[in-house]
Homo-oligomer: A and B are copies of this chain.
Amino acid sequence: MSDVKKVVLAYSGGLDTSVIVKWLQETYNCEVVTFTADIGQGEEVEPARAKAQALGVKEIYIEDLREEFVRDYVYPMFRANTIYEGEYLLGTSIARPLIAKRLIEIANETGADAISHGATGKGNDQVRFELGAYALKPGVKVIAPWREWDLTSREKLMAYCEQHEIPVDFSKSKKKSPYSMDANLLHISYEGGILEDPWAEAEEDMWRWSVSPEAAPDQPTYVELTFEKGDIVAIDGETLKPHEVLAKLNKLGGDNGIGRLDIVENRYVGMKSRGCYETPGGTIMLRAHRAIESITLDRESAHLKDSLMPKYAEVIYNGYWWSPERKMLQAAIDETQKDVSGVVRMKLYKGSATVVGRKSEQSLFDESIATFEDDAGAYDQKDAEGFIKLNALRLRIAASKGRNQG
């Protein structure tokens, strides 16, 4: 363990990663560089500076990555209408590649030979951090304290703090939540506590970002979202940057009780786990994106996208953002978004985000053909006979040869 000289740590400023700073210094006898990012988790990042300094850290990186996060990670993912296992909008998964990338870039800048993170050995995040790190810097050393140390209970952790004079007020600042939480501009997640029983309903006071549908306003809110090439660029006519879009949609969604999710998901490491999520803005974005695609995207492209989406979601969930297969899929997805532009009108009401209108200059909806009224010859109904006859031919031949198709 003596061969690590300098390690870059993903540092939240919280108790756990503060313990890790000390543990790394002590165990590896190495220098620690901390990296703290604002990706919209809703907490100040600047206080992490003083905490790191108090722990003897000399190189401290504190960055606002909100715009980059939404523009280069969240938006590309939403172009694919990405959902994991039919429900999960990948709020945690999509933040990890950016953190991994910055860890490696900082390692390169500071001459560090290792990176470290506070993810446990049971979860997906360790995988996402480390696959990203290895993909970007193949010789990097990764230190995952939770897989190595013996501080396996809260008691041992607290004892370690006391022993090493780590300010205990790290954890006193607010009442300790019974849940393990993670947040960024796309979502906040909850695991553990009573959620470990999949039959138990989440308690109302667990949810932090949204009011309950019951407590939401009795009047619906309407909102118009403008898309350009698959991405939202304006809300109600106001041009916004990607992270501003998401922040505003989070507010609108949260106020209307939108985006709560309670699921059991399959982790990459092989177990099922219960998680609750609030993704107010993402929930609105997803439906809106499907709606703008519904009038601007070709049918076969749309179906092909749908058939590739579960794979794409799996790739991201499992931590392979920085892989060639993700880039391959992204190339296909992005190719389809060139004309996905226009406006979607949505109604937000007590937990539901409903599409009520969509329009586009690139629309492929052709009223003159689709109409139930006289179409002036735009579509020849007699063509349908030949279409059906030839599509039926293989079925007819099979039936005529005695194949039982019933």
- Residues from 307 to 350 in A contacting B, C-beta threshold 8 Å: 307, 310-311, 314, 320, 322-325, 327-329, 331-332, 334-336, 339, 345, 347, 349-350
Judged by a CB distance under 8 angstroms, whether A206 is at the interface is no
Hey, what's the 0/1 contact readout for A290-322 against B, CB within 8 Å counting as 1?
Answer: 110011001111111111001100100000101
A271 cross-chain contacts in B, Cβ below 8 A = 366, 369-370, 379, 393-394, 397
Judged by a CB distance under 8 angstroms, whether A381 is at the interface is yes
Q: Given A213-B352, A352-B213, A359-B198, check contact A272 B301 (CB 8 Å).
A: no
A391 CA / B393 CA spacing, docked (Å) = 16
Q: Say how far A330's CB is from chain B's closest CB, in angstroms.
A: 8
Interface segment, A11-19, A59-67, A80-88, A168-176? A80-88
Closest to A305 in B: B328
Q: Say how far A261's CB is from chain B's closest CB, in angstroms.
A: 9
Judged by a CB distance under 8 angstroms, whether A180 is at the interface is yes
A264 cross-chain contacts in B, Cβ below 8 A = 291, 294-295, 358, 365
Pick from B180, B304, B335, B356: contact of A201, CB under 8 Å = B356
Contact A322 B134 (CB under 8 A): no
Contact B300 A307 (CB under 8 A): no
A287 CA / B331 CA spacing, docked (Å) = 26
Hey, what's the 0/1 contact readout for A381-393 against B, CB within 8 Å counting as 1?
Answer: 1111111111111
Contact A304 B328 (CB under 8 A): yes
Chain B CB within 10 Å — which of A272, A323, A372 has the most? A272
A130 cross-chain contacts in B, Cβ below 8 A = 388, 392
Pick from B298, B339, B363, B399: contact of A394, CB under 8 Å = B298
- Residues from 44 to 94 in A contacting B, C-beta threshold 8 Å: 81, 85-87
A290 cross-chain contacts in B, Cβ below 8 A = 85-87
Q: Say how far A27's CB is from chain B's closest CB, in angstroms.
A: 16
A347 cross-chain contacts in B, Cβ below 8 A = 201
Contact B328 A367 (CB under 8 A): no
A127 cross-chain contacts in B, Cβ below 8 A = 384, 387-388, 391
A320 cross-chain contacts in B, Cβ below 8 A = 300
Contact B294 A363 (CB under 8 A): no
Chain B CB within 10 Å — which of A191, A270, A357 has the most? A270
Q: Say how far A121's CB is from chain B's closest CB, in angstroms.
A: 3
A242 CA / B307 CA spacing, docked (Å) = 30
Interface segment, A31-39, A144-152, A158-166, A229-237? A144-152
A139 CA / B129 CA spacing, docked (Å) = 31
Pick from B85, B307, B356, B386: contact of A262, CB under 8 Å = B356
A301 cross-chain contacts in B, Cβ below 8 A = 324-325, 328
Task: Enumerate 9 A-B pairs (CB-CB under 8 Å) in ascending A order.
Answer: A122-B370, A269-B384, A270-B299, A271-B366, A271-B393, A272-B365, A305-B328, A349-B351, A383-B389
13 further A-B contacts with Cβ under 8 Å, apart from A198-B295, A332-B335, A383-B390, are A85-B306, A144-B384, A260-B354, A262-B355, A271-B369, A271-B397, A300-B320, A324-B336, A324-B405, A349-B350, A369-B393, A379-B393, A384-B386
